[in-house]
Amino acid sequence: MTAFSLEPAQLAWCAELRALAAARLRPLADQGEPGRVNRALVTELGTLGLLPRLFTSGALDLCLMRESLARTCTEAETALALQGLGAHPVHAHGTEAQRARWVPRVADGSAVAAFALSEPDAGSDAAALSLHAERDGRSGWRLTGEKCWISNAPEADFYTVFARTTPGAGARGVTAFLVPADRPGLTGTPLDMLSPHPVGALAFDAVPVAADDVVGEPDRGFGVAMGTLNLFRPSVGAFAVGMAQAALDATLAHTSTRDAFGGKLRDLQAVSHQVAQMALRTEAARLMVYAAATAYDEGAADVPRRAAMAKLLATETAQYVVDQAVQLHGARALRRGHLLEHLYREVRAPRVYEGASEVQRGIIAKELYRAVNATKENGT
């Protein structure tokens, strides 16, 4: 299989996911409360066997799941993705005891996970973390500080928390901790955000953690965070592609039936050319997402660059496609409850989280120049 062509079985699976999302997940999503964890929806994702696949599938399968769900039910897509983002560090780097306690519960939907990296003054510059871990005895620490813009906070059952264990060491002095939500000194506040999924802030007041809570190795947590993001960045792009495709599908249906100027909207060259451009950019983003995911699955050396390119192109493309879809639908698309009104709110956040577009451009440039320098050093 190449990165640019899906097998018939994969295409059938994507169609099955869209059907399941419409029949089983969309009704539960509609019953949820914006800004709150929809536990019934999370449980159903586990019942359908989608959450367990977070721990058994590769990056391409993750992208196919996210894209397929996003075309039909963005709430289900986001609930799935946040479970994976919060639990992947534990699955990939955690101790046997950590995995045994939490991974099965994440997989069946009985526990909600969260990835706690960003802070009020450390968003794009993730190495500038100020949440600090002070030694408490020979093998323990106390966490003091804040986290902000944390998806699923403050309702998650546990958090993968990144804290500074060695002052002044930059990225090399960060440790990942698994922190259950019921630890003394840990409190949270929900934030009222544009996007409908839950986002909150966390406050750590000397929260106790021990060596058993370390995910990976002390002072190596930044690698845990970046490894997780390298996996999930292409799939953020897949989420964006799914939204773009949903907007494109709606636009094709609308312009084919809407009467205007003695014909259908699609008969106007300005409209048909715009729809063609929307389709072109969506497909280009989709192919780059698949290529980046395949590179990750194959262990390619250029995964950071490919992942950054995929997220950047796909999220910027989705913003463009949804905006154009709104324009071609007119005022009806701005009415509360319309699919495009929903997508218009959803599509903005992915250009910011898991590394803003500007950060992705920085990663791409850094990796390009790294390759140039390596070529010079090798004398080729």
Q: Which residues are catalytic?
A: 354
The structure tokens listed for 283 are 């497909």
163 touches 175 (CB < 8 A): yes
Residues 6+ apart with CB under 8 A from 328: 251, 254, 255, 265, 271, 274, 275
The structure tokens listed for 335 are 């009415």
141 touches 135 (CB < 8 A): yes
CA 184 to chain CA mean position, Å: 29
200 touches 188 (CB < 8 A): yes
51: number of CA atoms within 13 Å, CB side?
A: 28
The structure tokens listed for 225 are 């965070």
Cα(280)–Cα(321) distance, integer angstroms = 10
Count CB-CB contacts under 10 A for residue 208.
16
The structure tokens listed for 237 are 């792009």
Q: Which DSSP symbol is given to 355? A: S
Tell me which residue has tokens 């292409």.
Answer: 234
Nearest to 136 by CA among 192, 85, 101, 177: 177
State how beta strands 214-215 and 199-210 pair. Answer: unpaired
Cα(356)–Cα(147) distance, integer angstroms = 18
Cα(358)–Cα(88) distance, integer angstroms = 25
Tell me which residue has tokens 């194959």.
Answer: 298
